[in-house]
Structure 1
Amino acid sequence: MTTPAAVDLAARELAVFPLPPGGRRPVGPWHARCLTDPQIVSKQWREGDNVGVGCRASRVVALDLDVHGDDDGPGVLAALAERVGQAVPDTFAVATPSGGRHLYFRVPEDCTIGSASGGRSPLGPGIDVRGPGRRSGGYLVGPGSVVRGLPYAIVRDVPVAPLPAWIAARLRPHKGR
């Protein structure tokens, strides 16, 4: 099932690379293995491999909304949006095996928003960020992947929306930070 998923993601202009079957971590350097051409992905992908999505090569920032323990990423993001008088945009979204969500947002090629996790995200607790960074950038486990028998699955099948200014302003590096 992951080959069609990888091809679909490449057709959405997301750069994919193989992850080991059942795994979430790449083996070896993955940056140079990112593919964006659906025909090449179809020919080169090994059936059963999970799908990685490279943020820099895809020109995306993704918000990983966690929902385990005390983390309520969706609630924290909704509260932040309400506080600033904005709506959380409708964008491509993927359910994670833990019940969370990955929200994908398109960014310009020169975007240097980095990745942050483990309570270090400027958006608040329960929201990890995967971004293009300054060098190689972060990555996500993509839909079609299965980890510990549980799938990553598309839950909002809409185009990837641009990163809203109110989120970008909180994620861009500031002097003294």
Structure 2
Amino acid sequence: MTLRTTNRHHRPKPAWTAARALALAAAERGLSVFPLSPSKLPAVASAHRDQPNLRCTGQCGALGHGVHDATTNPARIRALFAAAPWATGYGIACGRAPHHLIGVDLDVKNGLDGIAALAALAENRGFTVPDTVTVATPTGGRHLWLTAPASARVPNSASKHAPGVDVRGSGGYLVGPGSLGTRGYYRYAADTDPSHIAPAPTALLAVLTPPPAPPARRVSTQSRTGANGALDGLARFVSDAGPGETNNRLFWAACRAFENPRIDPLRAERVLLDAAVAKGHPEREAAGTIASARRRSGASR
């Protein structure tokens, strides 16, 4: 594998050097990291930029898969930064062992006050926001770090639970402290203990975790009509999704459809895609979710 490296005739920029050092230090504490550009986006160019419809999360072995590149391996981290000499920060992947990190991003801009909104949510749901690692953002906001049980599946969301309160869960990432963005540095807030990541309160986890999907309706394997009825039920399950739930419900429903030997996979794909799009879900994203479910279930075309 050929890696892009910094020019040996030019000294690395201070922000790049600092970001790499901070990323390596974070990895020593069990946090999976990867380089970020000043815009807070993954700094390593996409490995499949000429194949926009290919859904690869790193199985190909190349660098350039965004948050999926995140690692605690020092050699891999150095390779990632070598491939992105323009990096000025680093991202920390959420949901990864051993911490199973949840990030609560509190925006304070454009008329939003996520800090006050989280306090109101805590009072309404009966939990106390714990003292935990807190990172101050350049725009006056805060990132709170919390741990979760390994079994928790917290989805990413934006202002779903309270205005200005965004959540970074599985598949999401936080900007690491010490990173330089276009508006300034991300730094630990005053009085923060960087080694103390508090557990998420149970009541907060209940808010952030979607309810379990209902069990699939029993369907006779002898009846084509029954199979169609099962697919119709899965489509209704997608259609009944609340705000922010459509993608999770679509994935669950597609997995169940592809696992049912009496349901035609092509028809399932079409029916569930139509149900998701009718809910306002972007067609391309919905198609990708269905394709992921097909791969997970092992269904063939």
Provide the rounded CA distance (Å) in 2 between the counterparts of 1:163 and 1:87: 10
Provide the rounded CA distance (Å) in 1 between the counterparts of 2:93 and 2:77: 18
Q: Percent identity?
A: 37
Match of 1:142 in 2: 176
The amino acid that maps onto 2:173 is Y
TM-score w.r.t. length of structure 1: 0.83
Match of 2:202 in 1: 165
SS of 1:56's equivalent? coil
Residue deviations 1:103-144 (CA, integer Å, cap 9, x gap): 011112232110001x3x22x001000001xxxx11122112
SS of 1:6's equivalent? helix
Match of 2:92 in 1: 53
Q: CA RMSD in A?
A: 2.1
SS of 1:63's equivalent? strand
The amino acid that maps onto 1:56 is G
Match of 1:24 in 2: 40
Provide the rounded CA distance (Å) in 1 between the counterparts of 2:209 and 2:125: 17
Shift of 1:31: 3.8
Matches within 5 A, 1:92-171: 92-117=133-158, 119=159, 121-122=160-161, 124-132=162-170, 137-155=171-189, 156-158=192-194, 159-171=196-208
SS of 2:96's equivalent? helix
SS of 1:57's equivalent? coil
CA distance change for structure 1 residues 8 and 73 in 2, over 3 Å: closer, same or farther?
same
The aligned length equals 168
Higher relative contact order (CA 8 A, sep 6+): 1
- Please say if residues 34 and 57 of structure 1, whose CA atoms lie closer than 8 Å, have aligned partners that are also in contact: no
SS of 2:115's equivalent? helix
**Higher percent of residues as helix:** 2
Match of 1:10 in 2: 27
- Please say if residues 143 and 152 of structure 1, whose CA atoms lie closer than 8 Å, have aligned partners that are also in contact: yes
Shift of 1:3: 2.0
**Higher percent of residues as strand:** 1
**Greater shift in the superposed pair: 2-11 or 39-48:** 39-48
User: What residue ranges of structure 2 are gaps of 5+ in the alignment?
Assistant: 1-17, 47-64, 214-240, 243-301
